[in-house]
Amino acid sequence: MTVIPRHSWKSVRDVIHGKILDSTFGPGDKLPKDEELAGELGCARATVQRAMRDLAESGVVERRRKGGTHVRSDPVTRATLDIPITRREVEQRGSVYGYQLINLEEADTPYEIAASFGLPSPCRMLRVEAVHMADRRPYIYEDRWISPQTVPEIRDVDLTAESANEWLVRNKPYNRCDLRFYAERAGAYHARLFNTDVNEALFVMERTTWLNDDPITSLKAVTAPGYQLITTT
């Protein structure tokens, strides 16, 4: 009786993944149940579980109780995005970070902002406009709405000194986060801010967050010309 070399969950994962890649199991096919696979591979069921969870997380298979494990029929490329605090991002580029509050007011949200929160109608929120700078040049313009009902403490924060970005990330957890990326023409305001052409193409990130279905903040971040969002897996 030979002890099997070693059944790490990664090797189990790779064996199963291999059978999918070589078409032993095609898109949509049902895989044997964990228990069977554990028997075949000579490892504990928990090890198969661990392997399968990894495959499920990377989008290769789908699992459902009672339904079993199926090979996903529409493969996706899945990647993880890390969006750091803007200050950190600037500093890691080796630049000097700067921050400037442009405007702070309490006002009714436009319809689009209410909509992005999923609210039926506009309501009163705190609006914060600010610029993040890298080496004294504008780097990201942020236009943010904060719900003072969910985040009452925000009124006590000195937003001329600390960016809402930083304070919120450090102090206010969230459950749900919507992200949206697109390109936008600069327009007169941003062209002047970034000292560029009116027709420059700018990369825009929008982020809306909730805590237990209560709106926290909605942010539109317009980046300087040439900005790139990068991921490595």
Partner DNA sequence: AAGTGGTCTAGACCACCTC
Partner DNA sequence: AGGTGGTCTAGACCACTTG
Binding site for DNA (CB under 7 A): 6-11, 31, 33-35, 42-47, 49-50, 52-53, 56, 63-69
Q: Return the number of the residue (70 or 172) whose C-beta is nearest DNA.
A: 70
Q: What is the rounded distance in angstroms from the CA atom of residue 152 to the CA atom of residue 144?
A: 16
Q: Which stretch binds its own copies (CB under 8 A): 37-45, 83-91, 131-139, 148-156?
A: 83-91
| Binding partner of 44, given DNA, its own copies, none, CB within 5-8 angstroms per partner class | DNA
Task: Let me know: does 140 contact 216? Beta carbons within 8 Å.
Answer: no
Q: Return the number of the residue (59 or 110) whose C-beta is nearest its own copies.
A: 59
3-state secondary structure of 156: helix
Q: Return the number of the residue (63 or 87) whose C-beta is nearest DNA.
A: 63
CA atoms within 13 A on the CB side of 37: 24
Q: What is the rounded distance in angstroms from the CA atom of residue 174 to the CA atom of residue 184?
A: 28
Identified binder of its own copies from the candidate list 78, 93, 124, 137, rule CB under 8 A = 78
Let me know the angle formed at the C-alpha of 208 by 190 and 187, rounded to the nearest 5 degrees: 15
Q: What is the rounded distance in angstroms from the CA atom of residue 43 to the CA atom of residue 3?
A: 11
| Binding partner of 82, given its own copies, DNA, none, CB within 5-8 angstroms per partner class | its own copies
Identified binder of its own copies from the candidate list 79, 105, 158, 188, rule CB under 8 A = 79
Contacts of 133 (CB under 8 A, 6+ apart): 90, 97, 98, 99, 100, 139
Least distance CB 48 / DNA (angstroms): 8
Does residue 220 belong to the site contacting its own copies (CB under 8 A)? no
Task: Let me know: does 173 contact 153? Beta carbons within 8 Å.
Answer: no
Task: Let me know: does 203 contact 181? Beta carbons within 8 Å.
Answer: yes
Q: Which stretch binds its own copies (CB under 8 A): 35-43, 70-78, 102-110, 143-151?
A: 70-78
Q: Return the number of the residue (144 or 207) whose C-beta is nearest its own copies.
A: 207
The pair of structure tokens assigned to 227 is 């900005």
Q: Under the rule (CB under 8 A), what is the footprint of its own copies?
A: 17, 21, 27, 59, 74-85, 88, 169-170, 173, 176-185, 199-204, 207, 226-233
